[in-house]
Structure 1
């Protein structure tokens, strides 16, 4: 049984919905530093996508929750490194705090494109 009463990732038809992935290490401890935190949150997001047989290439929309809005420029640079064009849509929201002392949380919507048939 999970520690939380929700699915970390859920698929419905060709869509995948990923609950917020925090900037924590695999053991659940908050990752310090701005770029390391962004990378950690993205790594947790990738892990959750894999549980529904999806990858970052399937992501069509993300929402970032951050405790410091000044992180936006660095997050933009990181986004450009992680996602190929055309990049997913994104919202960027400042919040007062996040669970476990994290400073970044990323949630996503993914879409599994139908396979091309010959």
Structure 2
């Protein structure tokens, strides 16, 4: 049973809508450090995409929620290593706090053309 009242990801009509993936490890513990937090959030995002048979290659839009806006430049460099051009659209939003002590949360919209 899911510990939350929502789906980690929901797929419909070739789209995947992915709930926010936090910068936590596989046990739900917040990951310290800037680059490590970005990588953990992206790993959790990738796992959630997998629940609707999608991958990071299918992502068309992300929204980052961060507790430190100064992470933007580092997040940009990380984005370049994760996504090939043309890279997905992205929003970057500073927030006061995130669940479980996380410092980064990434949500996404993905699209995959159904195979005949």
Q: Normalized against structure 1, the TM-score is what?
A: 0.96
In the alignment, is residue 37 of structure 1 matched against residue 44 of structure 2?
no
Distance 2:101 2:20 in 1: 14
For 1:27, the equivalent position in structure 2 comes to: 27
- C-alpha deviations, 1:64-103, integer Å up to 9, x for none? 0000000000000000000000000000000000000000
Q: Normalized against structure 2, the TM-score is what?
A: 0.98
Give yes or no for contact 1:66–1:93 (8 Å, CA) kept in 2.
Answer: yes
The runs of 5 or more residues in structure 2 that have no matched partner are: none
For 2:10, the equivalent position in structure 1 comes to: 10
Runs of 4 or more, structure 1, over 4 Å off, are: none
Distance 2:36 2:113 in 1: 31
Q: Aligned with 2:70: secondary structure?
A: helix
Q: Aligned with 1:52: secondary structure?
A: coil
- C-alpha deviations, 1:21-51, integer Å up to 9, x for none? 0000000000000000000000000000011
Distance 1:41 1:71 in 2: 13
Distance 2:2 2:48 in 1: 14
Return the offset for 1:114: 4.2
Count residues in correspondence.
116
For 2:98, the equivalent position in structure 1 comes to: 98
The runs of 5 or more residues in structure 1 that have no matched partner are: none
For 1:88, the equivalent position in structure 2 comes to: 88
Return the offset for 1:113: 2.4
